[in-house]
Amino acid sequence: MLKLKFLPVCYSLLLCSVLTATWTQPTEACTRILWNNNDLAVVVSRTMDWPESTEPVLTVFPRGMERDGGRTGDTITVKDNPARWTSKYASLVTTMYGIGTADGLNEKGLSGHLLYLNDTDFGLRDTKRPGVQAGLWLQYLLDNAANVKEALALMKQIQIVMTEAHGHKATVHLAIEDASGDSAVLEYIDGKPVVHHGKQYRVMTNDPTYDEQLALLKKQDYSNPSSDTPLPGNVNPVDRFQRASYFSAILPKPNTEREAIAAILAIARNVSVPFGAPYKGFGIYNTEYRTAINLTDRRYFFELTTSPNVIWADLDSFQLAAGSPVMRLEPDSISLSGDVSEKFRPASKPPF
């Protein structure tokens, strides 16, 4: 059963980075920013930091997609009792390596983000429960849940199974949020699911586990930030976390969507790892891309770090009925700018 934890109010960001400067294991510095109390729109942002390209492709899936949760590309990951389902909801996502979904939202305003967690342990395979390979964990929820509450209920019906791509194991945890501002962080520790559910859960890093992250953050106080508040400026996870928490605490109320997206992307850029920086041996990887989502209006923003432009697409502008084509757009082009909804093209074959 899911272990639900309701802990004290914490932060306003989700960072996938280590919270202790002495942590010696390899880390990734991904960042997710949730802003669910601005009275305008629920908006969220994340950075993807990785040692190589994850081959991101913006993809629109209509309703009625037939899924096999036991496959990782052409490889059968779950041999016994793989989960199979038909998607109830359409979604706009960023895929990774063509075998899973790293980030995205669905037509009901549920969104989510896979982030690295070194301590992830999905446990021994229980063949009595349908298995979903970890790369499709988020897609399963986007396909079938309208909000965070429904997503958590669905998690009781399946088992997430470890997979691998490009030599990297999918040791991940998941952050989800919906258009109401509800939020949850899902982890598997020592083979057991741990869920932190509540609107107050706006910040997360990958290692250590979320329980420990919450305890560590209590030592940092940005509840009364000022222009004299000292901020660290290094690239280590603790310094980035403190900067992100500080800037999140001083965000002004936005008057328009443009202001809200600008605000969370500004923080995401502030805590990003510069592209091409010489961090060999640091266990810290370059930021590959950043996304932002307006859950209220179902608009998806994407910024590749090697491109000077932010692009976006409106999920509602696509044909989403069952039988409509899967649409895709490769974002690695400096010619792309602004609203790219009309630049998506039908996929010759769905990625999964």
DSSP 158-185: -EEE--EETTEE--EEEEEE-TT--EEE
CA neighbor of 46 nearest in space, from 69, 30, 28: 30
CATH number at residue 62: 3.60.60.10
Whether pLDDT at 7 is above 70: no
Compute the average pLDDT of residues 116-136.
Answer: 95
Specify the pLDDT at position 5: 42
Does residue 351 lie in a domain region? Answer: no
Sign, Cα dihedral of 178, 179, 181, 182? negative
Whether pLDDT at 93 is above 80: yes
> For residues 276 and 40, which has the higher predicted lDDT (pLDDT)?
40
Whether pLDDT at 152 is above 80: yes
CA pair distance 334, 53, nearest whole angstrom: 16
Spatial contact of 188 and 169, defined as CB atoms under 8 Å apart: no
What is the percent of the chain with per-residue pLDDT over 70, rounded to a whole number? Answer: 86
Tokens coding 272? 């990003």
Compute the average pLDDT of residues 128-132.
Answer: 97
Q: 183-239: per-residue pLDDT in tens? A: 999 999 999 999 999 998 887 765 677 787 777 667 766 667 888 888 878 766 667
Residue 148 C-alpha from the chain's centroid: 14
Catalytic entry in 14, 18, 30, 48 = 30
Cα-based distances in Å from 33 to 68, 136, 249, 251, 281: 31, 22, 12, 12, 27
Sign, Cα dihedral of 236, 242, 245, 251? negative
Which residue reads 């420990």 in tokens?
A: 212
DSSP state of 82: B
Structural domain range at position 285:
3-346
Cα-based distances in Å from 264 to 31, 237, 281: 11, 19, 29
CA pair distance 12, 92, nearest whole angstrom: 24
CB-based contacts of 51: which residues, under 8 Å, 6+ apart? 285, 286
* Domain count across the chain: 1
Active site residue 16: no
Whether pLDDT at 10 is above 70: no
Q: Which range, of 7-21, 152-166, 229-243, averages the lowest pLDDT?
A: 7-21
Q: For residue 177, what pLDDT band results from cuts at 50, 70 and 90?
A: very high
Amino acid at 79: K
Which residue reads 């962080």 in tokens?
A: 185
Spatial contact of 210 and 185, defined as CB atoms under 8 Å apart: yes
Q: Which range, of 32-41, 91-100, 123-132, 200-209, averages the lowest pLDDT?
A: 200-209
Amino acid at 162: M
Tokens coding 115? 């982030």
Sign, Cα dihedral of 201, 39, 138, 151? positive
Q: For residue 75, what pLDDT band results from cuts at 50, 70 and 90?
A: very high
Does residue 352 lie in a domain region? Answer: no
Does residue 10 lie in a domain region? Answer: yes
> Model-level pTM?
0.91
CA pair distance 328, 336, nearest whole angstrom: 14
